[in-house]
């Protein structure tokens, strides 16, 4: 019973943190775009005269969306029109259940285990679960396009479906090399495997060291999965063909939210697969062990906290990079988008898997 309560508390914490981070993301993106474009940015919304550098704009957006009229076009399928944004948000949220945000926190009197996994669900095939949930998110997009009975929305839905399916292939193949190197699909064990070092103990054996090509393919394909600039052709705001063109109120808000949730998912996955997850260089469960032989022991609670802080900083850094790319790289043409996926990323990902297999065969084992 105690174990179940802890798991529910972890799930609640993750849900609370992710949703608030997505809301905060809107403010950061507004301010970052303003900084790049040499303007002030959103700063008008206030509460009792306090503006807080425009942070209340997110609250104003939510209030506006909840109070706006929910319009369903004549002839549209009302049931599917309502389910589509729910699917988009639901599958993005449940993905976080398998992502480990810290190592084990030992608790002496915890029944039967003695420790808490800082992860909602420790799934043996966690990587498969994550990609399965991300793949199901396309249903929300395609349903939004077809249920609206609008030609522009259908075009956006078709674009999104073709784009997501195309890039999911390169995305999936890119992480095969990571699985081959570390020999597991359990995300917690995969992060622990990245705690090894090479070069006399100086270089952490993170995924970016063992699979640099896979990292580039993964990051590019994952950005395309989020449907954000420069891969935002399904929404095509300047072309008015978005799959959510017939949505208003909080239904539109849910699609808006899912974009930020998917960005957080991609940042978390990039951190977990290629940058050691919660790993801190030279930090072991009992403390720091430096290459020159020095040691600095730390209690387990501090070790778990430092791991959580490491994961958070890496993830936030990736989110900042994604926002920077959005405001600096122009949108692809649709033929360029598909060519990049099928003629660029796909063969590179396959070649990376072949090279990884050859190297591991010569070495004789995975890490």
Q: Is residue 18 domain-resident? A: no
Vertex 206: Cα angle to 361 and 200 (nearest 5):
85
Q: Is residue 254 domain-resident? A: yes
Q: Is residue 36 domain-resident? A: no
| Closest C-alpha to 103, from 89, 91, 117, 90 | 117
* pLDDT tens-digit profile, the chain (367 residues): 566 777 778 888 888 888 888 888 888 888 888 888 888 877 777 777 777 777 777 788 888 888 888 888 888 888 888 888 898 889 989 999 889 988 888 776 544 557 778 888 888 888 999 988 888 888 888 888 888 888 888 888 888 888 888 888 898 899 999 999 998 889 998 999 888 888 777 888 898 999 999 999 999 998 888 887 788 777 766 666 678 888 888 888 888 888 888 889 999 999 999 998 888 888 888 888 888 878 888 888 888 889 999 999 999 999 888 888 888 888 888 888 888 889 889 999 999 999 999 988 888 665 5
CA distance 158 to 112: 50
Say what the pLDDT of residue 365 is. Answer: 62
pTM of the model: 0.89
Say what the pLDDT of residue 108 is. Answer: 61
Q: Is residue 134 domain-resident? A: yes
Say what the pLDDT of residue 348 is. Answer: 94
DSSP code at position 297: E
CB 130 within 8 A of CB 269: yes
Q: Is residue 140 domain-resident? A: yes
Q: Is residue 210 domain-resident? A: yes
Say what the pLDDT of residue 211 is. Answer: 92
With residue 204 as reference, give the H or E element that holds it.
strand 203-204
Say what the pLDDT of residue 1 is. Answer: 57
Q: Is residue 135 domain-resident? A: yes
Range of the domain at 295: 74-363
Q: Is residue 6 domain-resident? A: no
Counted domains in the chain: 1
Say what the pLDDT of residue 240 is. Answer: 60
Say what the pLDDT of residue 198 is. Answer: 81
């Amino acid at each position: 019973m105690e174990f179940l309560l802890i798991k529910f508390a972890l799930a609640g914490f993750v849900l609370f943190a992710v949703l608030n981070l997505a809301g905060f993301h809107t403010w950061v993106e507004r301010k970052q775009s303003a900084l790049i474009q040499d303007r002030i940015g959103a700063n008008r919304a206030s509460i009792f005269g306090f503006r807080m550098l425009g942070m209340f704009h997110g609250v104003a957006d939510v209030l506006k969306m909840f109070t706006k009229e929910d319009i369903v076009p004549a002839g549209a399928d009302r049931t599917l029109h309502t389910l589509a944004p729910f699917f988009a948000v639901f599958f993005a949220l449940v993905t976080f259940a398998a992502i480990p945000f810290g190592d084990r926190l030992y608790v002496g009197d915890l029944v039967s285990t003695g420790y808490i996994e800082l992860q909602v669900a420790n799934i043996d095939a966690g990587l498969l679960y994550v990609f399965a949930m991300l793949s199901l998110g396309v249903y929300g997009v395609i349903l939004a396009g077809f249920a609206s009975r609008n030609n522009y929305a259908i075009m956006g839905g078709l674009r999104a479906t073709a784009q997501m399916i195309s890039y999911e292939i390169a995305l999936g193949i890119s992480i095969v090399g990571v699985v081959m190197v570390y020999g597991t699909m359990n995300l917690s064990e995969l992060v622990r495997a990245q705690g090894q070092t090479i070069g006399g103990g100086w270089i952490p054996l993170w995924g970016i060291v063992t699979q640099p090509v896979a990292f580039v393919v993964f990051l590019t394909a994952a950005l395309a999965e989020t449907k954000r600039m420069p891969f935002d052709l399904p929404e095509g705001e300047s072309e008015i063909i978005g799959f959510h063109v017939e949505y208003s109120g909080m239904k539109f808000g849910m699609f808006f939210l899912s974009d930020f949730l998917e960005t957080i998912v991609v940042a978390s996955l990039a951190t977990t697969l290629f940058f050691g997850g919660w790993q801190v260089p030279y930090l072991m469960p009992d403390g720091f062990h430096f290459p020159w032989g020095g040691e600095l022991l730390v209690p387990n609670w501090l070790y778990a906290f430092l791991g959580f802080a490491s994961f958070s900083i890496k993830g936030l850094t990736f989110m900042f990079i994604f926002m920077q790319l959005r405001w600096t790289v122009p949108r692809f043409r649709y033929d360029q988008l598909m060519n990049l996926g099928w003629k660029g990323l796909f063969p590179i990902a396959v070649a990376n898997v072949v090279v990884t297999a050859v190297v591991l065969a010569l070495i004789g084992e995975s890490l």
